[in-house]
Amino acid sequence: MRRLWLIFSQAATVALAVLFVINTLKPQWLLRDGRPLTEVVALNTAPPLPAPGASAVPAGGASAVPVMFTGYQSAARAAAPAVVSVTASKAGARNPHAQDPSFRFFFGERAPETQVGFGSGVIVSAQGILLTNNHVIAGASEIEVRLSDGREARAEVVGTDPETDLAVLRITLDKLPAITLGNMQALQVGDVVLAIGNPFNVGQTVTSGIVSALGRQGLGLSTFESFVQTDAAINPGNSGGALVDVRGHLVGINTAIFSRSGGSMGIGFAIPVDVAQQVMEGLLRDGQVTRGWIGVEPRDLTPEFAENFHLPIKDGVLITGVLQDGPASKGGLKPGDVVVSVGGQQVSNTAQLLHSVAALKPGNTATIGVQRGAQALQLSLTIAQRPKQTVRPR
């Protein structure tokens, strides 16, 4: 009996081993009613991808067959041809001792070395109009643009706006690709975005991330700030490049990063496309951006100030100085007043006041809501045109 049991156990072991080998090497031999055994249980499997050039819609008008997610290649493919590399050259500073005969005797005649800076730009019109950052081309005597298809052209400056750090360039080439401008109203925190540019002059590079914040202000990067913040990798050389959504539509012009090392740390900032479009249209139409101005020195209202002066408000902009014979002075605004509204729109901080006044048309009259101590006033001011500002150092 013991011998029979030993033979049975050995045979069962050999049979299981053979079954395992067959299932591993030739699973098609193991059929049940003409079907593989794996079809007996339910499995979640992805549908096959359609063949290249084949339609993903089955015959008979059925709904489209879902395909595997393949990244954001369509967005990159749509936007990348319109993103260019910008090389700005400027003459270096002459040595202050260059005219000294002794210096020239020992060191000879030395011409100032040419300084070269690299950045990016975005073609927004097939007529050769480009957007980039003002700090990319500021002070440049020669600007060269290189397209992703290898073509090169010299660019001329149409106009600059240091207060938003934007510049408009023009090149003359045929069959230029132009990016599609996106809709800022549809952009939300958490949306996926791509940053396209020429970081460190290594060539066109695409990085991805999300929108981390909208309307970011108070960074000290420019006068008028309302940045799109993103964690898409932005590095030196990306300035002036494109921030696009998943459709490849332009939603921002990459302009700056927050970094302790000089490289990307996941906090980058882009100028919203609606601001860039407004600046571009002003520069193309008038050669400058027309903004309203009232001639005041503002600062944010602090809770301490409101409490010390027994103000019945908590939000507003404290006026610390008024330009003599300026629009605000002529309209009756005084130092110590707190501006609470412009044209019926509430303002809570300095950035909002600057944007609200800048949006007013010079020559028009606007009503300014003011809190003067315990008294609420409505002052009528004639808006002037904002004086042209000098280039801000970066």
Q: Are 107 and 193 in a shared domain?
A: no
The domain that contains 373 carries what CATH number? 2.30.42.10
Residue 65 within any structural domain of the chain: no
What pLDDT was estimated at residue 33?
Answer: 45
pLDDT of residue 14: 77
In a domain, 51, yes or no: no
Contacts of 293 (CB under 8 A, 6+ apart): 327, 357, 358, 362, 383, 384, 385, 386, 387
**Residue 239 annotated as catalytic:** yes
- State which residues of the chain have pLDDT below 50: 31-47, 49, 52-53, 55-65, 105-106, 392-394
> Alpha-carbon distance 303 to 301, whole Å?
7
Task: Let me know if 161 is a catalytic residue.
Answer: no
Residue 349 lies in a domain: yes
Is 5 a member of any domain?
no
Whether residue 4 is contained in a domain is answered as no
pLDDT of 111 reads 53
- Domain final position from 258, 286, 314: 286
Task: Quote the pLDDT of residue 115.
Answer: 77
| Domain boundary pick from 286, 320, 342 | 286
Q: Is 355 a catalytic residue?
A: no
pLDDT at 82: 95
- 159 and 202 both lie in a single domain: no
Count of the separate structural domains present in the chain: 3
| Active-site residue, selected from the candidate residues 135, 212, 341, 355 | 135
Longest pairwise C-alpha distance within the chain:
120
pLDDT of residue 45: 34
Which entry of 161, 165, 231, 337 is annotated as an active-site residue? 165
**41 SS3 class:** coil
16 within domain boundaries: no
Which residue range forms the structural domain that includes residue 98?
A: 75-170
Single out the catalytic residue among 120, 239, 264, 356. 239
pTM for the model stands at 0.71
By DSSP bridging, strand 129-133 and strand 384-385 are: unpaired
Q: Does residue 252 sit in the same domain as residue 298?
A: no
Q: What is the pLDDT of residues 148-187, one digit of tens each?
A: 999 999 999 999 999 999 999 999 999 999 999 999 989 9
Classify residue 36: in a domain, yes or no.
no
Q: Which of 236, 264, 286 is the last residue of a domain?
A: 286
Q: Do 272 and 344 belong together in one domain?
A: no
CA 306 and chain centroid, separation: 37
pLDDT of residue 90: 83
- Residue 141 in any domain: the answer is yes
Which strands, in side-by-side order, build the sheet including 152-154? 152-154, 142-146, 83-91, 114-125, 129-133, 166-170, 156-161
User: 223-256: b or e for each residue (b if 16 or more CB lie within 10 Å)?
Assistant: bbbbbbbbbbbbbbbbbbbbbbbeebbbbbbbbb
- Regarding whether 282 and 190 lie in a shared domain, the answer is yes
Cα–Cα distance between 225 and 216 in angstroms, integer?
7
Site of tokens 């301490």: 304
Vertex 172: Cα angle to 170 and 174 (nearest 5)? 130
